[in-house]
Amino acid sequence: MLPEVLNTIAELNAVDVLKRLTEKFASEMSRIILKSGQEVNRALLEAAKFGQEKLLAVLLEIGVDPKGTYQDMNALYRACEFGQINCVEILLARRARTAVEGTQRYDPLVVAVLHGKLDLVKFLLEEKVSGIERDPETFEMKDLKVKWNALHYAIVKGQKEIVEYLLSQSSALQNIKTMDGIAPLQLAALRNEIEMCQWLVQKGVEPKTLLTFPDGDLEDWHRRVLICKDYFVMVQGDINFKDDRGKTALHCAAEYGHLELVRELIELGADVEATDAKGWNATHFALEEFQTRKRNNSNTVFDILKLLHLKNNRLASQKTKDGRTNLHIIYEKEGKCSEEVLRFLVEEAGVEVNAVDSRGGFVLNKNINCWNKEFLYTYAKSGKLHSAVETGNLKLVQQLCESGVDLNATGRHGMTALMIAGKLNQVQIIEFLLAKNVNIKKKDGTGKNALHHSLHNFEITQLLHKKEKSLVKKLTIDGCTSLHLATNDQNGSMEVIRWLVDKIKINVNTCNERGETALMLASIHGLSSDVLELLLDKGADVNKEDNSRRTALMYTVVHENLNLFPILLERGAHLNYSLQALQYAFLDLNLLKMVYNRNKELLKEVDEQGNTILHKAIKNEPKECSLVVVWWLIEELKIDLEVRNKKGETALLVACKEERWEVVDLLLSKNVDVTAKDSEGKSAVDYAPFLNI
């Protein structure tokens, strides 16, 4: 009965009720508690958990054992677990010195560390009530020998604040190993705590600690040694350092699934093409055993793979020195791999499905029980067909068809044989495939159908349109019409574009999801003046803006298709875009004069950094303009040569910084102020001392 009463009192924190019960049954309380066994300890643990120090004190006063356990845990462990400092202090004063959980006895300090209770850690290192003697360097209890000290636990739990505090109290801790010889930095590495490793090194721990191993037989340490060597490469500081195996920091970061470190190394200029002694690059390491390592989930590996591919789209398709592809690496140990990753490797990265390594290893070997093998089988068959189409080998296409190959199978980017044939102008193959009634409506990964891929060729376009008239009206995933696609190609066919506008009646002002019209795309790719005239004659809005507020006129300048600029101006294009884009007109003096004659005020604007048109012309943005253009700006526009931008720079200061000495001579001939200083307090003489001669 008493345990239930005490538990209810604990739940309600009814200290006064407990005191009255104690006063009333003082003579019987000790005997009842003794008979109640472990059940009576439950109230003590509840009080410790919720920080009910008054209740805890009364329970101890009436005889509840401070060291007693309930369900294999004592109150000291529970108080440490929840960081209840006052309760911990009460229990320590009652000589409850070790925290019990299960069959283990723990130092209260270790429990506080495990649960990230920094304030409690500080208290336990400073308290005097318990009489616990601690080693001054390791803080271990002298009468409780354990394999790990508090720092070791803090490291594996990633408790940086606690690690920092412990090291501030004992610098010797950073070199004290576990009982089986593992140094703190090695421990962080073995637990895959890269951020902790980096932080410890920043705090002064020597990276070479990772390479210090016990003397004697290292057979049991083999795996540990390899991991520690990898982490040394990651934290040693040189982004392109190679160890004795040829591994770089990028290799190791990819292998252990450290996405942010991979991104950081790439941004810092790490050599993404580097290979180790076996010819492995970063993608090979990223995919090695990633399904068998808990620390590497497939999403992180896929993100790393895509990041590396974005930097160099040849990496993932490269083979190791023994001829293995990334597919070999994934499946050698029967690893599981999502179809998404497989599709990326074979369709996007171009990994050879049929590749055989130097040992005769073949990914599709029937003895290999690999996940998603059916997808690879299908792709392997389509690969032969698509290769035949790409090379224009009609005879092989016919043979493959007779062998039962799927003519509608998709390959890279979701392309079918018909799409590839259309893209590569393979008329005979297209006629054969159409005769075999292939799925002409199929779309690739971007939503393009076979006709979309053929819009550069009028003959093929008509052939496909005759077979299926709905194709030409279909939109891609990003909202492009057939007219968008026909003009989004520097080889765009005037015949096709005229047919789309005149016969199919596609609206010339339709926008895709980026807000682009056919006129903008034609301006970007520098299509013929006839194409622009046709689109404009059909009502194309010459001043329409896309989602980035850019017009067709701006695109002709940005992409240096300057021959189209006069056409757009004559058809009413406004010169209302920013000086930022106008700077491209510096490349051609006649174009600049044309702009000036249309809008004299535009060339007098300044950008958000305070730069005039002259500042920009002098700078090498986007390309160095000729002295003739600078001279014209000075003579014709009469720009104030002493105007400063937000950095306090005059035209002369900019010319000196850019080392445009011919411009400096021109400006000096105009008697500009040589003593003018920028926001850093420097004058032209500081950047070009010879001016002081």
* pLDDT digits 0-9 by tens, 541-573: 999 999 988 899 888 877 878 788 888 888 888
560 and 496 part of one domain: yes
pLDDT in the model for residue 22: 59
pLDDT in the model for residue 38: 65
456 and 493 part of one domain: no
Domain boundary among 98, 116, 132: 132
88 and 124 part of one domain: yes
Domain boundary among 132, 159, 183: 132
- Number of Cβ within 10 Å of residue 603's Cβ equals 20
Q: Would you say residue 248 lies in a domain?
A: no
Whether the CB-CB separation of 80 and 88 falls below 8 Å is answered with: yes
SS3 105: strand
Residue 17: pLDDT over 60? no
421 and 493 part of one domain: no
Q: pTM for this structure?
A: 0.58
391 and 413 part of one domain: yes
Q: Would you say residue 159 lies in a domain?
A: no
For 371-382, what is the mean pLDDT?
67
3 and 57 part of one domain: yes
Q: In terms of DSSP bridges, do strands 104-106 and 99-101 run parallel, antiparallel, or are they unpaired?
A: antiparallel
595 and 684 part of one domain: yes
**Distance, CA of 284 to CA of 606 (rounded, Å):** 51
601 and 505 part of one domain: no
36 and 118 part of one domain: yes
Q: Would you say residue 123 lies in a domain?
A: yes
SS3 107: coil
Say how many CA atoms lie within 13 Å of 425 toward its Cβ.
Answer: 5
The token pair at 91 is 């229990």
Q: What is the DSSP letter of 60?
A: H
Whether the CB-CB separation of 397 and 432 falls below 8 Å is answered with: yes
Domain extent for 452: 382-470
463 and 499 part of one domain: no
- Cα separations in angstroms, 249 against 226, 265, 276, 558: 14, 8, 11, 39
The token pair at 317 is 């398709």
- Number of Cβ within 10 Å of residue 362's Cβ equals 17
Q: Would you say residue 524 lies in a domain?
A: yes
Q: Which of 37-51, 208-222, 415-429 has the highest mean pLDDT?
A: 415-429
Per the structure, the count of domains in the chain is 4
pLDDT in the model for residue 556: 85
Q: Which residue has the tokens 């792709």?
A: 379
Residue 649's domain is classified under what CATH number? 1.25.40.20
SS3 141: strand
**Distance, CA of 289 to CA of 136 (rounded, Å):** 43
Domain boundary among 577, 602, 618: 577
* 632-663 tens-digit pLDDT: 888 877 888 999 999 999 999 999 988 888 88
**Distance, CA of 542 to CA of 283 (rounded, Å):** 47
570 and 486 part of one domain: yes
Residue 125: pLDDT over 90? yes
560 and 621 part of one domain: no
Q: Would you say residue 279 lies in a domain?
A: no
Q: Would you say residue 638 lies in a domain?
A: yes
Residue 11: pLDDT over 70? no
User: Across the chain, what does the average pLDDT equal?
Assistant: 86
pLDDT in the model for residue 63: 80
Whether the CB-CB separation of 518 and 525 falls below 8 Å is answered with: no
pLDDT in the model for residue 209: 94
For 53-75, what is the mean pLDDT?
88
**Distance, CA of 619 to CA of 611 (rounded, Å):** 10
**Distance, CA of 3 to CA of 525 (rounded, Å):** 85
Q: How confident is the model at residue 91 (pLDDT cuts 50, 70, 90)?
A: very high
The better pLDDT of the pair 471, 158 is held by: 471
Q: Would you say residue 175 lies in a domain?
A: no
For 381-407, what is the mean pLDDT?
87
Q: Which residue has the tokens 């574009």?
A: 497
Whether the CB-CB separation of 597 and 575 falls below 8 Å is answered with: no
Q: Would you say residue 139 lies in a domain?
A: no
